[in-house]
Structure formats: structure tokens, C-alpha cells
Structure 1
Amino acid sequence: MTKIPIYFVPGLAAGPEIFEHLELSPEKYTFHYLKWIKPLALEESISNYAMRMSDEIKEENPVLVGVSFGGIMVQEISNFIDAKKVIIISSVKTSDELPKRFKMAKFTKAYKFFPTNIVTNFEDYAKYFLGKSLKKRAKIYKKYLSVRGKTYLNWSISSVLNWKQDKPKENLVHIHGTKDHVFPIKHIKDAIEIKGGTHVMILTKAKKISKIIDESLTF
């Protein structure tokens, strides 16, 4: 049996580690993990960035799986390759699904003042805003938020807020949690809902997500 290649793209500032809890059969699939690359400049278009990232895809007719900003990115990558299917998790499939606060941030340009150094120097800031009971959570953030270049973070935030897509892609599967506070479910249409799933459900609801991915590719 020919195995189906799956290429994974993590969320903003995250590394491939966020997919470590998925339970997909290595007898059916081959797994490839795309890493964030440095933008050529803050003005680089998301389309050009996706084209450069697509150079890392060597398999034909792959499945693209993206989480959060990675979900936006796999949709952009699908413009440059023939994908068997695009699966987005905790993400949006059109600009209209972005929450109002994102649109306001775009309009006011407030995102340009986001303190990206808090993420870039997470360990230095954590001691000031995390109590002892949250130290364990801080370690988790440190593990999964492994991509912290300031240029990359500024570029990513701008790219999310300025992303333009009017219609959903064909052959797309959208998996979304009902408790997602980054992209609230009330703005999301035609998604497979996971009850109680938050924006980080790739870590906490991995078994359910794995089942949905598998079923969407085998039935």
C-alpha cells in the first residue's frame, strides 16, 4: 500500500513538537514537519513566503495540515502545489472568520506596538507575571514556543491581520474547538467541532483530532 505523505505546519512561534501527541499510523502515512523560515523582510508577502516554504515539499500530492497561523500558511502553500487535501486546526479559512478585535488591530495599526520581546525573551519576563502554580505551564510554553525571532514574530502578526481570502479553499477540512478564544467558534462556519477544545487543543485533544484526520483521508 502506498503511504500518504502528510506535511505539518505548526502555529505562530511554535515548532514541530506541537504534533507529538497525534496518533496516526506510520503504516498508512509518512510524516514531514515544515519549520518556520526567516522572512526576507517585514514587507515580504505571505504568498511569497509560502512559495519559498513549498520548496521543502518533495512528495507529490501530499496532505497539508496546519495549526492556527500554520492553517493559514498551508492554504497559501496549496496555491503552489497540488495537495490531496488541506486540513486546518484551530484556524480560519477566510478573512471573514477573523474576530473583530483582529480587524480593529489591523485598522488602527495597533499590532505594530505588540511587545514581541515578551515572547522573544520569554524566560526573562515569565518570572514577573507567572506565579509558582504556573511554573509548569511556563515550561510547556518554553518547549512549544521555540521560534522567537523578532523579525519573524512581527512579520507573522502582520501577515495574520492582513491576510485576505474571500472564499474557502476546495477540498479543505476545518477542525475547530468550541472553546477557542483566539478564533471564537461563533465566527467559524462549516467546521468539524470538538466540544471543549481550546486554541491549543492540538495538545489536549490530539486523539480526537487524529481520528478526524484519519477518517477524512480514508473514507
Structure 2
Amino acid sequence: MTKIPVYFMPGLAASTMIFERIALPEVFEVVLLEWEIPLEKESLPDYALRITQKIKHPNPVLIGVSFGGILVQEMALHIAVRKVIIISSVKSNLEFPTRFKFAKTTKAYKLIPMNLILSIENLARFSFGEKINQRIKLYEKFLSVRDIGYLQWAVEQVILWNRTKPADGIIHIHGDADDVFPIKNIKDCIRIKGATHILILSKYKWLNENLPKLIMKD
């Protein structure tokens, strides 16, 4: 039996360990993608094309978390995919919170002291949201990319993402307590009650139960 390939992309600065509790049935072949350090002045479309070269199966399912959700949407422009599923992410820049739009207009993102963000506490807040003060130790194992160049690049790519219209057929799973991408800005999503930006960790049982059905649904 040919298995259905499912590629997972973690969130900004996160390691593939955020998927350690995701368990799909044997009909699926799970492949975990990791962040690469961007090349000098590499655009998000070019980066997406480079990561797409790691796809070794035809017609895969792409699942991305947060910034990884943005990336898999860009990757899907380069290859034929069975389905794109995003978790705790956005389908266009119209779903960004006001502070993102302000940062783009003012270029305030260029003033973020990335060297300070590299502390595990700040990086955890930056990547997973504010509501994590009880869980800093937990995130030490989930945050793997502590490269200033990568962080500067990633923040800029998010803020400047120019997609204004969602692609067709995106499945969007989102927590109604997400403090990075507030639910009030999100349209057409599967809403998970009480879930924060880290629902990939906190709602893994829901995901294990429902991802197979969402993948197989016509």
C-alpha cells in the first residue's frame, strides 16, 4: 500500500520536537522539515523553493505551524500538493494583528534587538506568545534555531509577507485564545476553544484524532 506523505514544518525558530506527540495512522508517512539558515538577501519565495527541494514524494500534504504555515503556503506555489493545512498561522497579511501592520509601515521590526531575543525566555515569548511564563523550561527543547541572521530574516519575511488573498483550499486550524494571531482577525478556520498559539503542543490529542480525517476529506 502506498502511504500518503505528510510533511510538517515547525514555527519560527522551533525544532521538529514540537511534533513529538503527533501520531498519525500507518496509512500516512510523516516527514519532518527543519529550518535552514537563509542565504544572504534570500527572499521568502526563493527560500520556499529551496526547502521544497527536500520534498521527495509526489503530491504531498504540507502542514505548517505559525511562520511554518506561511512557508508551506509559499512552497505550495512550486509543487503539486494534495492538501495544505496551517495551524496557528494566517492565510494572508489581512489576518495580521494591527501591531504587525504598524511594524511594516514604520519599519519598527528593524529596531528589534535580536541579540536580546536569543535568551531562551525572550525567544520563547517571541516564537510562542506571551502566555508562557510557567513553561520556560518546556520550551528549551522546542526552540532550536538561535541564529541572529535567521531571526532577523524570519521576522522581516513575516512582517513583509505580501499575500493579500488566501489560496484556495487551505485548511486552517486556530485557537480562539491565540495571542500572536488573535482570532478576531482570522476568517474561515476550524476554531479550537481555549487553545493558544501553542495548540500544536496543548491540543495534540485533538490533532491526532482529526488530522487524518481532514487529510482524507475531499
Aligned pairs for 1:60-75 (under 5 A) are 60-75=58-73
| Largest Rg, 1 or 2 | 1
Structure 1 residue ranges without an equivalent (≥5):
127-133
- The Cα shift of 1:124 comes to 10
Which residue in 2 is equivalent to 1:97? 95
Identity of matched residues, %: 50
Q: Is the 8 A contact 1:23 1:207 kept in 2?
A: no
Partner deviation per Cα, 1:9-51 (whole Å, 9 max, x = no partner):
00000010001111311x111111111111112x321000000
- The Cα shift of 1:135 comes to 8.4
Structure 2 residue ranges without an equivalent (≥5):
125-131
Which residue in 1 is equivalent to 2:30? 31
User: Which shifted more, 160-169 or 114-123?
Assistant: 114-123
Whole-Å separation in 2 of the counterparts to 1:32 and 1:136: 31
Whole-Å separation in 1 of the counterparts to 2:64 and 2:184: 21
Aligned-residue CA RMSD (Å): 1.9
The number of residue pairs the alignment matches comes to 210
In the alignment, which of 173, 181, 184 is matched to residue 182 of structure 2?
184
Whole-Å separation in 1 of the counterparts to 2:123 and 2:72: 32
- The Cα shift of 1:218 comes to 2.2
Which portions of structure 1, spanning 4 or more consecutive aligned residues, are displaced by more than 3 angstroms?
123-126
Partner deviation per Cα, 1:108-129 (whole Å, 9 max, x = no partner):
1111121222332437999xxx
Whole-Å separation in 2 of the counterparts to 1:164 and 1:125: 25
Which residue in 1 is equivalent to 2:155? 157
- The Cα shift of 1:59 comes to 0.5
Give, as a single letter, the amino acid of the residue that structure 2 aligns with 1:16: T
Which residue in 2 is equivalent to 1:12? 12
- The Cα shift of 1:55 comes to 0.6
Give, as a single letter, the amino acid of the residue that structure 2 aligns with 1:198: T
